[in-house]
Every structure is written in structure tokens, then in C-alpha cells.
Amino acid sequence: MTKDRITLAFFVDALGSRLAGELGCFREIAPHAYRQRTILGYSCAAQPTILTGLPPSEHDHWAMFYRTSRSELAPLRHLDILPNAVGRHRRFRRRLLAAHRKRSGFTGYYNFYRIPFRLFREFDLSEKRDIYAPGGFDGDVESIFDILARDSVPHRVWNWKTGLDRALAELSETLANGPPIRFALLYTAVIDAFLHEHVGDASVVGAALKDLEAKISRVVARAHDSYSEVDLLIFSDHGMAETKGEVDLMDAIGTLGLTHEKDNLAFYDSTMGRFWFGNERARTDVAELLENMDGGSVLSDDDLRREGVFFDDRRYGELVFLMDPGMLIVPSYMGARAPRGMHGFTPDHEDSDAVLMSSAPLDPAPASIADTFRVMKGLLNRTHDHE
Ligand SMILES: [Zn+2]
């Protein structure tokens, strides 16, 4: 006996609109493709926008780290006594993260990367709770998972905590033998990780996407066996740009002779430098240096407002320097070397665009990643075709 209707949502991190179009991927199962403008920032800002339909200034998650005088990460500052060789070692950082997850009870996605430990006195995490579960956001911000819980909609979710093959196997098993569900969302970062290392290498990228397409197609076929109607969505949060060059922003700021954490405080993401100032001289010096620097530009408050990332309390930076597409800050607190591809540049660049592919045409056509939330919500409200 077939069950009723189901919505299947596959979230493929970093699958750009241009790449998806060129390779024609998922065309057979989701022929209606819509280019979507992403938001300024990284996945830690884009995913909340997809799950809530709101800009970062409203769901409050922009960068992974924000400045506060009451950071819950402050105890980590004591690790600053470790020699760099230990403190920056990958394996050490990985074990520390695992231990921290256990002790803190934080269920959100975070990483300490290469951030100097003493800075945790002033920087805290924006995603402490799992955003793929109800109650992931502060205040009255409602995500798709809050709606599913409130309306008691039977559903399953696989986020970054489960590997792709296991998640697909569990979804497949649920579709075939599990109790009926009305909605499933499966997130995967495999393409993001792959593109960071291989973007621009057409044959290996094509093969990786073909592999993913085959795996997802098999699960979708399983859904058609068990459910009378299957609404399929495959979408992303942003694209990936090829690295073109790097800038040693830390070194440039170092030439100003300012005392870090006194005159100024900086957070070096891979494509953004964010600055706070202890005095006017530091503000003027840093602003002047950045205004004259090649490879990026200072964002005005109007720029930030237009992108939905302006915060009155300046928790994410008093001054934001954004790199030009393909230009990276190296070294940064994220890494010591430049990967082959990166995202987090202006949403106006074509390689920044995300994509949403659907088994049925969508009206109105989704044009921004925030629309993905409305599309998912709309499908949940459908019971019969042509409704
Ligand atoms: Zn990425």
C-alpha cells in the first residue's frame, strides 16, 4: 500500500548555480532549476537563512564568532601558554574540539580552527545549539524545524553530524520500511569539501557530482515506490570561487605598530577581516591602510544593511574588510594556506550564486536562498496536486 505525499529536501552545501547548470546535474529528477542569490558570509550565516527565511541581522547568526565581554569560551584562553607547535597542531585541535563539545553541551556546528586561544576571552560562538532541531534560534525566530515540531509533522533530519552514505541508507530504510513521514531533510557537506580542493578541475568535479546524483536518485526512486506523491528539492547555500591570489592582511596590519587587543582587535576569516578599535588613532590608521589596499574593500554600513548583516551593537565588527572574489586572507584564523576554492565573497559574483532544483515548477520562482524556507513551508501545506 502506498503512503501519501512526502517532501524530500536534499541540502548540498556549496553546489553553485553555474556549476549545476553547466553539468546539468539532477536534471532528470529535479528539472526546474532556480538561481538563488546567496547572502554575504559563510555557511554559518547562509544555513540559518535557508532554515528561517530571514537575513542574518534578524536570525542573529552572521560569522561563526562574535565579540562579547562574556564569552562562554573564555576558559580556553588559558591554553595560550601552549607552544604554537602544539596549540596549532591539527590533531590537538581536533581532540580539544571533541572534548569541548562533550563538556560544553554545545550541539551547534563550530570549530576552533587556528584562532589564537587568548582571543576566546573576547569571542564567542553564534551557533551554540543545533539549528537543525527545534529551538535552534534565540527569541521568536522560527525555523522550519520549529514549524514541524509545532504542527507535529512526522519528519526525519540528517545534518552535518551524519556522513552522507549512512544518512542516505537511513533515509532509504525509513522510506521503505519506516513509519510514514511527511518531510525529510538531508544535509551534506561532501561537495563543499570536495570543491575546496578541486574546483576548476572539470572531470573530477563532474565525477563527484555524478556519484552524488546517482546516490540521491536511488533514494528518490525508493520514495516513489512507497509514496503516491514525492516533492523533491535539491538546494545549496552558496557556490565556490577559484582562488586567484592571497593577501597577508595580518602582516599589513602589523606594520601599523598598533597593540593588538588594546588599540585594535581583529578577527581574520578567510575572506573577511573584521576589526574593533580601542581608540580613534587606531581606527583611522587601520581604515586608511585598508582603503588603500589592493585585493579587497571596506564595506560601508549601507553595504552591510543592504546585505542584511548590519548589527547595531557591532558584535561582528566595527569595520569589515571584504576580499575581492578569489582573493584570500592568508594566513588567517581559518588556515595557514589557501585552498583551491573558497566562498564568502560578494553575493553579486556569479560563482557566489546558490541553486534550488525542484521536481515541479515553483511559483513564485525562488530568487534568494531565503526563499528556500518559504518553498519548504509551502510544500508542507500541500495535500493534493494542483492545490
Ligand atoms: Zn566551504
Domains of the chain (ranges plus CATH)?
3-57+130-242+348-380 (3.40.720.10), 65-125 (no CATH), 244-338 (3.30.1360.180)
CA 326–ligand 1 middle distance (angstroms): 14
Query: Each residue of 303-359: pLDDT tens digit?
Result: 999 999 999 999 999 999 999 999 999 999 999 999 999 999 999 999 999 999 999
Cβ-proximal residues to 73 (8 Å cutoff; 6+ apart), any chain: 120, 123, 124, 125
State which residues have CB under 5 angstroms from ligand 1, the bound ion. 192
Return the amino acid letter for 124.
D
Distance 194 CA to ligand 1 centre (A): 9
Write down the pTM of the prediction: 0.96
Interval between CA 1 and ligand 1 midpoint (Å): 42
The pLDDT value given to residue 95: 92
Residue 210 C-alpha to ligand 1 middle, in angstroms? Answer: 20
pLDDT given at position 338: 95
- Side-chain half-sphere CA neighbours of 75 within 13 A: 5
Which range (47-51, 116-120, 169-173, 237-241) has the least confidence?
116-120
The C-alpha atoms of residue 242 and residue 197 are separated, in whole angstroms, by 10
pLDDT computed for residue 1 by the predictor: 45
Helix (H) or strand (E) holding 342: strand 341-342
Q: Report the pLDDT value the prediction gives residue 106, as an integer from 0 to 100.
A: 95
Residue 111 has a pLDDT of 92
Which one has a higher pLDDT value, 85 or 115?
115
In order of 113, 250, 265, 331, 345, the CA distances from 269 in angstroms are 10, 11, 13, 9, 11
Q: How far is the CA of 343 from the centre of ligand 1 (A)?
A: 6
Rounded mean pLDDT of the chain? 95
56-71 per-position pLDDT tens digit: 999 999 999 999 999 9
